[in-house]
Amino acid sequence: MITTVQQYLDKGLRGLWYPVLASWEVQSAPVGITRLGEQIVIWRNKDGQLQALEDRCPHRGARLSMGWNLGDRIACWYHGVEVAGNGEVKDVPAVDKCPLVGQQCVRSYSVQEAHGAIFLWFGVTAEQQPEALVFPTELADGEAYSNFLCTAAWQCNYQYALENVMDPMHGTYLHSSSHSMAEGDRKADMVLQPTDTGFIFEKKGQSGINFDWVELGNSGACWMRLSIPYKKRFGPGGHFFIVGMVVPEDNDNCRVFFWRIRRVQGWQRAMWRFMYRNHLEKLHWDVLEQDRVVLESMAPDARDHEYLYQHDVGLSRLRRMMQKAAKEQLAMREEQQGAA
């Protein structure tokens, strides 16, 4: 039973769409995952459309993800109960006229697939309808921009992954040997600026040199955006953009999604995509590994014993925003329980 605001936050804020897997990770076989502490099964029906259900057979609780994809439904491995994508039991092959048939007994999730990823809606309450999901321009405008998605599982609470991106100063230190982040001041004043969907956090008087600004936004999903100026030899397209999202798995694990983006059209697009696959992707994985290694080995309960300084106002703001949202969501849940 969740009691405190921090315990609620550790599981993940709700009222949001989250990317849960890359599209290529779900083919016809059912896939079982844990996200926001919930066990979920995802599969594609015979038209290739995604279905997502609570990963729990209504009969005795076996994991449906261990079962069979029958196209419009999934069959439990244990005794063969068949459940449709909307959570309705379609057949109980072991008995005639079973009263379970026709009942809606498994929770289903709203799903959408976009920009190479699978998104699920996690409502604050079971009744909360999904909000519209609006992507940052660099993803939404596929004509002007081109992207590669990379995703990885990290063994740390998702808040560390969020806070890491909202901390642009780590780039000049942690990634000082990397191809793209070796420049820029190793000291800087940081300033915050509100936006319509969140805020921008940047190095004062230093823009266009390194990883020197980062934005947090919420437009149906929570995302982060930053840009890194690139030298000509890394191909066409001006700044290199990154849009990042993080989904909690459980208290100690999360999944990160980073779209690497450049503004490229025509032959430049083809050239960049070729260069990226053959050369840049490996360099970016190296940078991401530096983040992972540091975050996975943080002191136990690191967030409880910190001495924050001026560079950390971005993450302090982020924490305040999240605490506020968590309080509101807990209140919504209590209200709903009271009404029930």
Under the rule (CB under 5 A), what is the footprint of Fe ion?
A: 291
Residues 6 or more apart whose Cβ sits within 8 Å of residue 180: 228, 230, 234, 240, 283, 287
The four Cα atoms 324, 327, 329, 330 give a dihedral, to 10 degrees, of: 170
Residues that bind ligand FES (rule: CB under 6 A) add up to a total of 9
Query: H or E segment at 244?
Result: strand 240-250
The four Cα atoms 14, 150, 66, 130 give a dihedral, to 10 degrees, of: 30
Q: Which does 31 bind (CB under 5 to 8 A by kind): Fe ion, ligand FES, none?
A: none
Report how far Cα 260 is from the mean position of its chain's Cα atoms: 15
Q: How far is the CB of 290 from Fe ion (least distance, A)?
A: 6
Q: Which does 242 bind (CB under 5 to 8 A by kind): ligand FES, Fe ion, none?
A: none
Q: Which does 81 bind (CB under 5 to 8 A by kind): Fe ion, ligand FES, none?
A: ligand FES
Q: Which does 32 bind (CB under 5 to 8 A by kind): ligand FES, Fe ion, none?
A: none
Three-state DSSP at 214 gives strand
Q: Which does 46 bind (CB under 5 to 8 A by kind): Fe ion, ligand FES, none?
A: none
Does residue 60 belong to the site contacting ligand FES (CB under 6 A)?
Answer: yes
**For ligand FES, the closer CB: 69 or 151:** 69
Residues 6 or more apart whose Cβ sits within 8 Å of residue 116: 22, 23, 24, 147, 149, 259
Question: Nearest 5 degrees, angle CA 306-CA 307-CA 312?
Answer: 95
- The binder of ligand FES chosen from 16, 21, 33, 57 (CB under 6 A): 57
CA distances from 281 to 96, 145, 147, 219, 272 (A): 56, 17, 12, 28, 11
- The binder of ligand FES chosen from 6, 39, 78, 303 (CB under 6 A): 78
**For ligand FES, the closer CB: 70 or 321:** 70
| CA separation for the pair 276, 280 (Å, rounded) | 5
Q: How far is the CB of 91 from ligand FES (least distance, A)?
A: 11
The four Cα atoms 79, 32, 28, 256 give a dihedral, to 10 degrees, of: 180
Q: Where are the beta strands (DSSP E) in 98-194?
A: 111-114, 117-122, 145-154, 190-194
- The binder of ligand FES chosen from 81, 89, 245, 287 (CB under 6 A): 81
**For Fe ion, the closer CB: 82 or 291:** 291
Q: Which does 291 bind (CB under 5 to 8 A by kind): ligand FES, Fe ion, none?
A: Fe ion
**For Fe ion, the closer CB: 72 or 281:** 281
Q: How far is the CB of 51 from ligand FES (least distance, A)?
A: 17
Q: Which does 20 bind (CB under 5 to 8 A by kind): ligand FES, Fe ion, none?
A: none
What residue ranges bind ligand FES (CB under 6 A)? 57, 59-60, 62, 76, 78-81
